[in-house]
Chain A
């Protein structure tokens, strides 16, 4: 057991810390869930890319640094510690990219990844539909073969699409074989949103920003090379990387540790008046953030020893989503009546409340934990 940085890791940490301290946006950027804010975030993402920090774990040829998993974790930690903003590119670099690395053709990887890294393209996730939420396999949007044109025609509606109104591309599941079983007839498509027949309507999330979108497809043509991982293979392809979304890549411990540090500072700034119960709440939140870090370090060691976390990523998801709410709720209690004012804690709280809903609701995760980790029988 050795929880310290190696000398190479320490050097990597120092380099990241120094660069971030000098470059992170100050004052902080506005929300990336409005058109104007999004544009500023894109600039920041390009600055990250130019300095080689956009996608540290990717191969150099796609704009990364070939960083190890541990170095990636260190970067995340330093990133959030510096106060840098949430990443509007996350759905591309953390959700689509792992799928591309696993299932994409060489041509797809070469075409898509460098533009994603450089924030020339920004990707959104088109899974949910009005009738397909937790029951994702009930997707109705369909793709019909257009033999003559050498591709597919997409029709239907996606919804709750995060930043769909600002993104340039969407990855999504569409039904290609209506006769096959629910999970069998789905295909994973990569769709430019400027294609003819696409209509996007942004709408407000809980905080009022246009962070959600409905995306409508009306006979939208995509060529054959828009299929990722094989026709009718979409379910398998999508599920192979859900671990990234629930687990450590989308929500690494660094951001929660930073929130916990801010919470401790907030509590300490009140001086001697700190209520004992609230002090205890702060301590519990801080400990939970540390516990998430330690759980993750152990999980990463497991991954490096060849144990893929698989369903265990549902444990991560349950833990970080509840943790995030707890940290913010405690902060709002400390702030008191001014907590209703628009500010980082009230915004953060509203954001955190989505955690138990997206990436598979926590009810669904508990069922996965029960069935796959504890071995309880299915209904």
Chain B
């Protein structure tokens, strides 16, 4: 038994982390979805191989596994990366790899020249629609087939979202050709769910860090507010939430990487735990910031809103708990 990232995985994670800390400041985040520096950041992620992390080496990727994916996407969550990294890493890369007719699209994604959005429920409503060239639609719950649709083949309208940094759109038009069905769709769905869970862990860590820093600096009644027990205990509970969600997310990555028959259950558990943990941390972080957290002029709101969006994306906690319940024989 050994439950830790390998030295190589740690190394990769820290490369990603320092890249994102350098190039995805909250200023860059605020500029999303179409800020001028975002295409460069996407290319940098492509250059270091992150976008093709799960793609086999013979198709131009790094040939790494879902544990590495989790490690990388936790870092993406930490900066609330306003780019479709989970879509590229978890979904598009593995689905397109091995399809010779889509070799050039895959290559462009891996180089960070092209982004691709995802609409698993085929509602026509999805994030990153303004910047993406394609959308992968279908495959909700791992069933049915996934289609590759060029975005400019239909009409696009912006939707006002609480999280404006993801560029939510309504897309109408013909659905493109199917590119995957069966077990590939199921794996793709699980990877995307897991990737989103990883982002939520990163978001939770970030919001907790921000709250801790704030309550140490902010003074009232002649003392740092972080010395008041009500504040301390709320933040301690927030840490418990994150600390007990993160191992489940890593372990679900391991289940996928080893092809465990429990992978579906483990991924659903990861998403449910990470979503509720991040949402709880979001509330605590807001409360501990006082009114400062309640304004769009400060940064916290960017992370809160991303958390709200991702907690419900790819199945909310309730949806995934029902999946776990099914695997335990409690839900039909």
- A residues in contact (CB < 8 Å) with B: 1-6, 9, 70, 264, 267-268, 272, 274, 276, 279-280, 282-284, 286-288, 290-292, 294-295, 297-298, 300-302, 305, 315, 318-319, 363, 365-367, 369-371, 373-379
Task: Decide if the interface of chain B is mainly helix, strand, loop or mixed.
Answer: helix
Flag if B1 contacts A374 (CB, 8 Å): no
- State whether A282 and B233 are in contact (beta carbons under 8 Å apart), knowing that A292-B244, A377-B226 are contacts in the complex: no
Flag if A376 contacts B330 (CB, 8 Å): no
B143 on interface, CB distance cutoff 8 Å: no
- State whether A5 and B1 are in contact (beta carbons under 8 Å apart), knowing that A280-B321, A286-B324, A370-B235 are contacts in the complex: yes
Residue of chain B at shortest CB distance from A281: B321
A25 CA to B146 CA, complexed, in Å: 55
A376 CA to B234 CA, complexed, in Å: 12
Flag if B244 contacts A295 (CB, 8 Å): yes
- B residues in contact (CB < 8 Å) with A: 1-6, 67, 212, 215-216, 223-224, 226-229, 231-233, 235-237, 239-240, 243-245, 247-248, 250-251, 254, 257, 269, 272-273, 318, 321-322, 324-325, 328-332
When distances are taken between beta carbons in the complex, the residues of chain B under 8 Å from A4 are 1
Contacts A/B (CB < 8 Å), 8 sampled:
A1-B2, A1-B250, A2-B1, A264-B330, A287-B272, A297-B251, A315-B243, A367-B236
A109 CA to B264 CA, complexed, in Å: 49
Flag if B247 contacts A376 (CB, 8 Å): no
Flag if A1 contacts B248 (CB, 8 Å): no
If A283-B331, A300-B3 are given as contacts, then 5 extra A-B residue pairs at C-beta distance below 8 Å, sorted by A number, are: A1-B257, A282-B330, A283-B328, A288-B244, A319-B244
Residue of A70, A283, A301, A318 touching B236 (CB-CB under 8 A): A318
CB distance from B31 to the nearest CB of A (A): 31
CB distance from A258 to the nearest CB of B (A): 15
- State whether A1 and B330 are in contact (beta carbons under 8 Å apart), knowing that A295-B243, A369-B236, A374-B236 are contacts in the complex: no
Residue of A286, A290, A301, A373 touching B248 (CB-CB under 8 A): A290
Flag if A376 contacts B226 (CB, 8 Å): yes
Which 7 residue pairs spanning A and B have beta carbons closest together? A370-B232, A294-B247, A369-B236, A366-B236, A366-B233, A376-B226, A297-B3
Flag if A376 contacts B325 (CB, 8 Å): no
Residue of chain B at shortest CB distance from A370: B232
- State whether A264 and B4 are in contact (beta carbons under 8 Å apart), knowing that A367-B229, A374-B235 are contacts in the complex: no
A294 CA to B270 CA, complexed, in Å: 11
Flag if B321 contacts A318 (CB, 8 Å): no
When distances are taken between beta carbons in the complex, the residues of chain B under 8 Å from A294 are 3, 247-248, 250-251
A369 CA to B224 CA, complexed, in Å: 17
When distances are taken between beta carbons in the complex, the residues of chain B under 8 Å from A282 are 325, 328, 330
Residue of chain A at shortest CB distance from B213: A375
Flag if A300 contacts B236 (CB, 8 Å): no
When distances are taken between beta carbons in the complex, the residues of chain A under 8 Å from B2 are 1-3, 301
Flag if A378 contacts B330 (CB, 8 Å): no
Task: Decide if the interface of chain A is mainly helix, strand, loop or mixed.
Answer: helix
When distances are taken between beta carbons in the complex, the residues of chain B under 8 Å from A292 are 244
A53 CA to B223 CA, complexed, in Å: 53
Residue of B226, B243, B273, B330 touching A279 (CB-CB under 8 A): B330
When distances are taken between beta carbons in the complex, the residues of chain B under 8 Å from A290 are 248, 269
Flag if B4 contacts A287 (CB, 8 Å): no
A5 CA to B224 CA, complexed, in Å: 48
CB distance from B55 to the nearest CB of A (A): 20
When distances are taken between beta carbons in the complex, the residues of chain B under 8 Å from A297 are 1, 3, 247, 251
CB distance from B43 to the nearest CB of A (A): 30
Flag if B1 contacts A267 (CB, 8 Å): no
Flag if A305 contacts B232 (CB, 8 Å): no
Flag if B227 contacts A379 (CB, 8 Å): yes
A358 CA to B66 CA, complexed, in Å: 40
- State whether A1 and B232 are in contact (beta carbons under 8 Å apart), knowing that A279-B325, A294-B248, A376-B226 are contacts in the complex: no
Flag if B273 contacts A287 (CB, 8 Å): yes
Residue of chain B at shortest CB distance from A378: B227
When distances are taken between beta carbons in the complex, the residues of chain A under 8 Å from B321 are 280, 283-284, 287
When distances are taken between beta carbons in the complex, the residues of chain A under 8 Å from B229 are 363, 367, 379
When distances are taken between beta carbons in the complex, the residues of chain B under 8 Å from A272 are 332
Flag if A1 contacts B233 (CB, 8 Å): no
CB distance from A311 to the nearest CB of B (A): 11
Residue of chain B at shortest CB distance from A304: B2
Residue of chain A at shortest CB distance from B249: A294
- State whether A298 and B1 are in contact (beta carbons under 8 Å apart), knowing that A1-B250, A318-B236 are contacts in the complex: no
CB distance from A81 to the nearest CB of B (A): 16
When distances are taken between beta carbons in the complex, the residues of chain A under 8 Å from B226 are 370, 376-377
Flag if A366 contacts B4 (CB, 8 Å): no
Flag if A363 contacts B233 (CB, 8 Å): yes
CB distance from B320 to the nearest CB of A (A): 9
When distances are taken between beta carbons in the complex, the residues of chain A under 8 Å from B6 are 1
CB distance from A331 to the nearest CB of B (A): 14
CB distance from A148 to the nearest CB of B (A): 49
When distances are taken between beta carbons in the complex, the residues of chain B under 8 Å from A283 are 321-322, 324-325, 328, 330-331
- State whether A3 and B233 are in contact (beta carbons under 8 Å apart), knowing that A290-B248, A301-B3, A315-B243 are contacts in the complex: no
CB distance from A168 to the nearest CB of B (A): 37
Flag if A3 contacts B236 (CB, 8 Å): no
A319 CA to B237 CA, complexed, in Å: 9
**Residue among A5, A279, A286, A374 facing the most chain B CB atoms (10 A cut-off):** A374
Residue of A1, A286, A375 touching B216 (CB-CB under 8 A): A375
When distances are taken between beta carbons in the complex, the residues of chain B under 8 Å from A280 are 318, 321-322, 325
A241 CA to B33 CA, complexed, in Å: 52
When distances are taken between beta carbons in the complex, the residues of chain B under 8 Å from A300 are 1, 3
Flag if B216 contacts A377 (CB, 8 Å): yes
When distances are taken between beta carbons in the complex, the residues of chain A under 8 Å from B273 are 287, 291
Flag if A3 contacts B325 (CB, 8 Å): no
Flag if A376 contacts B212 (CB, 8 Å): yes
When distances are taken between beta carbons in the complex, the residues of chain A under 8 Å from B324 are 283, 286-287
A305 CA to B6 CA, complexed, in Å: 12
Flag if A286 contacts B328 (CB, 8 Å): yes
When distances are taken between beta carbons in the complex, the residues of chain B under 8 Å from A268 are 328-330
When distances are taken between beta carbons in the complex, the residues of chain B under 8 Å from A301 are 1-4
**Residue among A290, A315, A375 facing the most chain B CB atoms (10 A cut-off):** A290
When distances are taken between beta carbons in the complex, the residues of chain A under 8 Å from B212 are 374-376
CB distance from B286 to the nearest CB of A (A): 17
